[in-house]
Amino acid sequence: MTVQKILKALILGAPASGKGTISSRIVKRYNIEHVSSGDKLRDHIQKQTELGKEVKSYLSQGKLVPDDVMIKFMVSELKKVQDKSWLLDGFPRTVAQAQAIWKVEPVNIVLNLNVPFEVIIDRVKNRWVHLPSGRVYNIGFNTPKVMGKDDVTGENLTQRPDDKPEVVQKRLEIYESITRPVIDFYKEKGILTHFEGRTSDEIWPKVIAHLDPIFEKK
Ligand code: G5P
Ligand code: MG
């Protein structure tokens, strides 16, 4: 791959496959922007903006926000970071979204996380999040120093309404039927790499081995 000054990367993977966890390590190591569609939507819901009110029920039911709303929102979010290298997480999630973003911001690198579904279902029960920052914890994996509190700010952690078992099941079904074809979209472009593992610690060294040469990190 040609090394470019500004890199536009995507991370794909099923719900709770570790996109947020791996993304936070990537943005720290390579000093790039993390743009998570889910974190941004949850922030709007918490602040009760017009968009937040519009999308709230989709998130709580584990359904996808309609493409027209999502594309408009993310295109405007990406404009804010257009002069920087970024890592997009959670978008695109439909082929229509992938086609739309390809027209305005063609990406250079796509990472796909492959984690078995039984591992995922087990994980979400123990997830706690710090909504303002998107920092994510898991009891037994990266347990907060003080139970129920964010390590950095000391503020309260919450559990996501869409982490209830029946909603997780719905999210996984939607992933299989609607989001999986997005993988093929990028496979055809020749820019997709798969990373398999049961834990983020198993996947992370493979991600570094792939990205270090691209980011020219010694
Ligand atoms: P989100 O927010 O994009 P999902 O469903 O894609 O939601 P999610 O749940 O945020 O993905 P993740 O980021 O892949 O998961 O995973 P994570 O948070 O890093 O890890 C999951 C948990 O496992 C955490 O507690 C973490 O600490 C833990 N963990 C990580 N690695 C390990 C490990 O190795 N071991 C253990 N034990 N634990 C580990 O989207 C949410 C909703 O927003 C809407 C939809 O309604 C969607 O459902 N939305 C969109 N709608 C339409 N189009 C779009 N493009 C949309 N984007 C968002
Ligand atoms: Mg996430």
Q: What is the pTM of this model?
A: 0.92
Q: What are 92-148's pLDDT values in tens digits?
A: 999 999 999 999 989 999 999 999 988 998 899 899 999 888 899 999 999 999 999
What are the phi and psi torsion angles at 8 (to 5°)? Answer: -115, 110
CB 151 within 8 A of CB 135: yes
The burial class, CB within 10 Å (0-12 / 13-18 / 19+), for 205 is exposed
Q: What are 47-88's pLDDT values in tens digits?
A: 999 999 999 999 999 999 999 999 999 999 999 999 999 999
How long, in residues, is the chain? Answer: 218
Q: What is the mean pLDDT of the chain?
A: 94
Cα 142 from chain centroid (whole Å): 18
CB 107 within 8 A of CB 191: yes
Helix, strand and coil content of the chain, in percent to the nearest 5, comes to 50, 15, 35
162 Cα to the center of ligand 1, angstroms? 10
Active site residues: 19, 93, 127, 160, 171
Structural domains of the chain in order of their starting residue, each with its CATH number: 8-121+169-216 (3.40.50.300)
